[in-house]
Amino acid sequence: MKRAAALSAVAAAPLVLIAVALLAPLAVLSAALASPLSPSPAALADIPAELLPVYQQAAGRCALPWTALAGVGKVETDHARSNLPGVASGANAAGAAGPMQFGIGGRAGNTWGGDPTRPVPPDLRYGTDGNGDGIANVYDPADAIHAAAGYLCDLGADTDLRRAIASYNAGPGNPAAGLGYADRVLAIAKGYAQAVTQSASGPGEWGGHANGRIPAEVLCPIDPSGDQRLHCDAAAAFAQLDAGYRARFGAPISITDSYRSYEDQVRLKASWCDRGACHMAATPGSSNHGWGLALDLGGGINRFGAAQHDWMRANAPALGWHHPDWARQGGGKEEPWHWEYGAPE
């Protein structure tokens, strides 16, 4: 796996620069939304304590979840712990070097730019000085992680995270070859994000409140009117997801419903029952909407097969949002619009 990862970074070398100017205003927006995800116990156990803040800070340059950036660092070199050639010094057989396996020459090309260790400014290609010591050092995790974040952002992490990670691995011209790699990274990213609850059955109880009886002031607004509210962790992750969605579709995610009070759950159940479809609404007091951990979405997300729905399927899990099995096509109670935050099914 490590060998494959090292070789794959090589393939990423002949890269085509994407129009950075286009992404710049989004970088400003997303900087304000940087890293809302709390690290899970697994993340705290696995990621070296000095690297966690580096991943979190570096990811803030675009709507890139720090968990995904850390997932790349895990797959490439086990957060710089790998003893393989080219991680701490030199380069592997193909010319990839450092914790994030940047190409520094040879078959890998020179994605890093210039010498592996050199003064900055100027930045050359992706090699950069992440920790302000005046040196861009491909072997220094602080520099390499910032460089990898810049590369992933240019590869479109704002708009299609899975594809950007695949391109990081297999090259911008051939993302399909890197999808397996991307899925490994995203699975790790999911494990690095703190779930709201650790229950096996998905999201649920938190904060000592009863379902549908959560005071508005402990929930966080997710729309300009403040009418739509969620658990604050879910709201922070949603803001980051929304930034990526805006970058891709040019419009915010359309929210139909969010937190639902107990009384609203009773009303909703009655209205479905009136239409002879009682099964479509949860028993009042059991809906994840009553925990502020579920959303009903529109604007295309509410249709199986729509680009917006597929984008959510690809990008939401890295931010802790998922479409539950039961709501999927053929899942028994199809609700393409219903999404949940927290420990997945």
Paired strand residues for 96: 103
Between 129 and 340, name the residue whose CB sits nearer to Zn ion.
Answer: 340
Q: How many other C-beta atoms can be found within 10 angstroms of the C-beta atom of residue 40?
A: 19
In the complex, the smallest distance separating the C-beta of residue 256 from Zn ion, rounded to whole angstroms, is: 8
Between 127 and 336, name the residue whose CB sits nearer to Zn ion.
Answer: 336
Show contacts with Zn ion in window 301-340 (CB under 5 A): 338
In the complex, the smallest distance separating the C-beta of residue 289 from Zn ion, rounded to whole angstroms, is: 6
How many residues line the site for Zn ion (CB under 5 A)?
2
Residue nearest to Zn ion according to CB distances in the complex: 338
The CA distance from 195 to 343, in Å, is 5
Phi, psi of 96 (to 5 degrees): -95, 145
Distances in whole angstroms, Cα of residue 65 to Cα of each of 100, 235, 270, 297: 16, 14, 40, 21
In the complex, the smallest distance separating the C-beta of residue 296 from Zn ion, rounded to whole angstroms, is: 4
In the complex, the smallest distance separating the C-beta of residue 270 from Zn ion, rounded to whole angstroms, is: 16
Q: What is the dihedral of CA 53, 24, 189, 36, to 10 degrees?
A: 60
Between 160 and 340, name the residue whose CB sits nearer to Zn ion.
Answer: 340
Contacts with Zn ion, 265-304, as mask; x by CB under 5 A: -------------------------------x--------
Q: How many other C-beta atoms can be found within 10 angstroms of the C-beta atom of residue 82?
A: 17
Between 158 and 296, name the residue whose CB sits nearer to Zn ion.
Answer: 296
In the complex, the smallest distance separating the C-beta of residue 335 from Zn ion, rounded to whole angstroms, is: 6
> Sign of dihedral through CA atoms 134, 139, 145, 147?
positive
In the complex, the smallest distance separating the C-beta of residue 23 from Zn ion, rounded to whole angstroms, is: 33
Phi, psi of 27 (to 5 degrees): -60, -40
190 binds Zn ion (CB under 5 A): no
Nearest partner of 280 among 337, 322, 321, 203, judged by Cα? 337
Between 160 and 296, name the residue whose CB sits nearer to Zn ion.
Answer: 296
Between 181 and 341, name the residue whose CB sits nearer to Zn ion.
Answer: 341
Rg, C-alpha atoms of the chain:
21
In the complex, the residues that contact Zn ion under the rule CB under 5 A are 296, 338
